[in-house]
């Protein structure tokens, strides 16, 4: 539990690094670890969603101040913390190899996102107006497709067989 | 958090960042949305289009019938017949009161296609007839955008019977007996072990039964008669009224006493039935043999404390369950006023054997040894002793059982005084 709170703390600290000099505003970096702790302590996944939103808010603030590095770092750490937090709530006994595998998965995906985010501002594309409209439509259709995928049926379809105990009377 | 909600939250955050970036004319916020968007897209691609977990669950028990205190080995196998699962949490929910001795009824792992996940554990189940619940599963695909949580039915029954003691010297003497041979002393002369009387010799009588002393005294041939030993109908009544016990632990002793009586009486060839009296009425009419013993033990396994107004006093015990002139073996800690019904039953021609698991001695063990509790215990003991003395005076066989000690010697000692 403490490592997860530590991870949320790191996310808050990195994302809120530019706020460090603002005095009382620096207290905002305590929000993500506090919410992460609440989420684990009371088994409350909603608190981890609030912690993610809080960290993204801090990252957005840092980004608007022109500190893109800490902002992206904070976002990446928040995504890793959010995923691991949900996994830890779903499987409280998770540790060892299995936990490492989850960490590698989410770190890999987040790393790919970071690389793309780092590369995006360096891309120079000249798009005509209708090209921009087409890209907008494509983005929205992608969003709608994602929503449809998220809402699809998730019924179990599992099969179970009965108890096949061997009748061995005792006593 | 369900996978769908996770998708919506991430999507909402992406839209919020993009919207805020557009409104504030801050392209950095758009850049921040990129890792989130990548995370969301990869997660949804991994979760697949038509994801339905295809799982087979099999639960194996080392036995289906146990005695209280024995251990049960459980093996649960979850086999994946569909696509790979990144995270699987398998939990076999145990009925209340089961004690895990070894292993764990919960396991977390991955389930590649075609592979199985096993749970191995040993438990000590409590008394009862248990319908085993389904196996609980929580699954998710990588990044957790598709999750499933539910229970796969895995029906099974486990019977945990009460233990019994081997009782000796349990002599019953009901007014009416059956034709079959048994150990209940009938009120008639015949073949047996206990002396009953003397009658005049008739041709055909065995010479070894001739009473030579009577011949010397009366100068006539007479033969000894012995009390005939026959089977009887016995109804064991287990009191399961909550106020009579005070603590559930005492019920376990009462159930053990009833099981011991059932076992002993059936072994001696009697027709034995059982009635549970408390929150409900549950009964098994008299019968004999091993099947009857199994039925009675199964009924005892299900005995639970409870109370309803209708059965709050023994006066509402339905006597139609007791054949006229039969033996009633009542196992109860007794409540004030119960002695009246016992006296009436005796007066109506039933032979009553009363086994009382002593609630005062039992409660004394649980309470701290203060002068107040000692005094209260002594007062209650005196009151109870006065009631029991009246019952003994009326001709009822009373066995007061200190549950800290085995029942068999206490029963033998108490009934020995009756012979």
Burial, A15: exposed, middle or buried (Cβ in 10 Å; 0-12, 13-18, 19+)? buried
- Using a CB-CB distance cutoff of 8 angstroms, which residues of chain A are in contact with residue B106? 93
pLDDT score, position A151: 59
Provide the strand spans (E) within B85-242: 85-91, 99-103, 106-111, 116-124, 128-131, 135-140, 147-152, 157-161, 181-200, 222-230, 233-240
**How far is residue B376's CA from residue B379's CA, in Å, rounded to a whole number?**
5
pLDDT score, position B295: 93
Digit-coded pLDDT (tens) for B130-160? 988 888 888 887 888 877 788 888 888 899 9
Best of A92, A165, A167, A168 to mutate (most B CBs within 10 Å, chain B): A165
Is A105 within 8 Å of chain B by CB? yes
Q: Which residue has the higher pLDDT, B146 or A101?
A: A101
Q: Which residue has the higher pLDDT, B100 or B192?
A: B100
Q: Which residue has the higher pLDDT, A23 or B327?
A: B327
**Nearest by CB to A120, which of B34, B58, B61?**
B34
Is A32 within 8 Å of chain B by CB? no
Percent of chain B with pLDDT over 90: 21
Is A23 within 8 Å of chain B by CB? no
For residues B371-384, average pLDDT = 87
DSSP string, A58-117: HHHHHHHTT-HHHHHHHHHHHHHHHHHHHHHHH-TT--THHHHHHHHHHHHHHHHHHHHH
pLDDT score, position B152: 85
A140's tokens: 């929205």
Digit-coded pLDDT (tens) for B392-416? 888 888 999 988 889 888 888 887 7
Residue A47 host element (H or E) = helix A45-64
pLDDT score, position A168: 42
**How far is residue B45's CA from residue B146's CA, in Å, rounded to a whole number?**
10
Q: Which residue has the higher pLDDT, B373 or B125?
A: B125
Is B90 within 8 Å of chain A by CB? no
Contact B293, A169 (CB under 8 A): no
Digit-coded pLDDT (tens) for B272-311? 999 998 888 888 888 888 899 999 999 999 999 988 888 8
For tokens 């991430």, the residue is: B10
Q: Which of B354, B358, B347 is nearest to B414 (CA)?
A: B354
| Tally of CB atoms within 10 A around A141 | 10
- Nearest-CA residue of chain B relative to A70? B32
* pLDDT over 80 (residue A93): no
Q: At what angle do helices A68-90 and B27-47 cross, to 10 degrees?
A: 30
Is A27 within 8 Å of chain B by CB? no
Q: Which of B259, B263, B270 is nearest to B183 (CA)?
A: B270
Does A163 contact B24 at a Cβ distance shorter than 8 Å?
no
């Amino acid at each position: 539990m403490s490592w997860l709170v530590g991870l949320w703390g790191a996310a808050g600290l990195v994302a809120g690094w530019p706020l460090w000099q603002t005095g009382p505003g620096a207290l905002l970096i305590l929000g993500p670890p506090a919410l992460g702790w609440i989420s684990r302590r009371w088994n409350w996944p909603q608190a981890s969603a609030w912690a993610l939103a809080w960290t993204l808010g801090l990252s957005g603030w840092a980004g608007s101040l022109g500190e893109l590095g800490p902002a992206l770092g904070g976002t990446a750490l928040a995504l890793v913390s959010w995923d691991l937090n949900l996994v830890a709530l779903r499987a409280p006994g998770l540790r060892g190899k299995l936990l490492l595998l989850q960490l590698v998965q989410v770190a890999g995906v987040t790393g790919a996102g970071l690389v793309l985010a780092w590369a995006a501002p360096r891309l120079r594309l000249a798009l005509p107006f209708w090209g921009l409209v087409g890209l907008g439509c494509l983005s929205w259709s992608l969003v709608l497709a994602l929503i449809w995928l998220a809402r699809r049926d998730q019924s179990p379809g599992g099969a179970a067989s009965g108890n096949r105990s061997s009748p061995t009377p005792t006593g | 958090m369900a996978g769908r909600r996770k998708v919506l939250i991430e999507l909402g955050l992406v839209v919020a960042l993009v919207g805020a970036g557009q409104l504030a004319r801050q392209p950095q916020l758009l850049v921040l949305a990129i890792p989130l968007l990548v995370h969301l897209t990869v997660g949804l691609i991994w979760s697949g289009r038509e994801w339905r977990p295809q799982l087979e669950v099999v639960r194996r028990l080392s036995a289906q019938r146990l005695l209280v205190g024995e251990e049960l080995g459980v093996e649960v196998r979850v086999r994946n017949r569909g696509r790979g699962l990144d995270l699987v949490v398998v939990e076999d929910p145990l009925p209340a009161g089961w004690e895990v001795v070894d292993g764990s009824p919960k396991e977390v792992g991955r389930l590649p296609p075609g592979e199985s996940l096993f749970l191995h554990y040993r438990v000590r189940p409590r008394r009862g007839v248990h319908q085993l619940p389904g196996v609980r599963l929580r699954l998710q695909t990588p990044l957790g955008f598709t999750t499933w949580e539910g229970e796969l039915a895995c029906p099974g029954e486990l019977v945990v019977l009460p233990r019994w003691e081997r009782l000796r010297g349990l002599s019953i003497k009901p007014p009416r007996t059956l034709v079959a041979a048994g150990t209940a002393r009938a009120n008639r002369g015949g073949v047996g072990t206990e002396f009953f009387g003397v009658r005049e010799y008739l041709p055909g009588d065995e010479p070894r039964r001739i009473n030579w002393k009577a011949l010397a005294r009366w100068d006539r041939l007479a033969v000894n008669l012995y009390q005939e030993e026959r089977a009887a109908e016995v109804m064991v009544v287990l009191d399961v009224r909550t106020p009579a016990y005070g603590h559930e632990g005492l019920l376990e002793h009462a159930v053990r006493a009833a099981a011991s009586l059932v076992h002993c009486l059936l072994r001696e060839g009697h027709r034995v039935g059982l009635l549970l009296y408390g929150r409900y009425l549950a009964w098994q009419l008299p019968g004999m043999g091993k099947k009857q013993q199994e039925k009675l033990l199964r009924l005892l396994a299900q005995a639970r404390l409870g109370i309803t107004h209708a059965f709050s006093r023994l006066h509402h015990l339905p006597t139609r369950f007791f054949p006229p002139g039969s033996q009633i073996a009542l196992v109860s800690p007794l409540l004030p006023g119960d002695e009246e019904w016992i006296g009436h039953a005796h007066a109506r021609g039933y032979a009553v054997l009363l086994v009382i698991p002593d609630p005062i001695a039992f409660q004394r063990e649980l309470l701290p040894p203060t002068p107040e509790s000692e005094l209260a215990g002594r007062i209650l003991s005196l009151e109870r002793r006065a009631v029991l003395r009246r019952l003994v005076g009326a001709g009822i066989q009373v066995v007061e059982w200190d549950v800290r000690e085995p029942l068999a010697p206490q029963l033998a000692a108490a009934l020995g005084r009756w012979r």
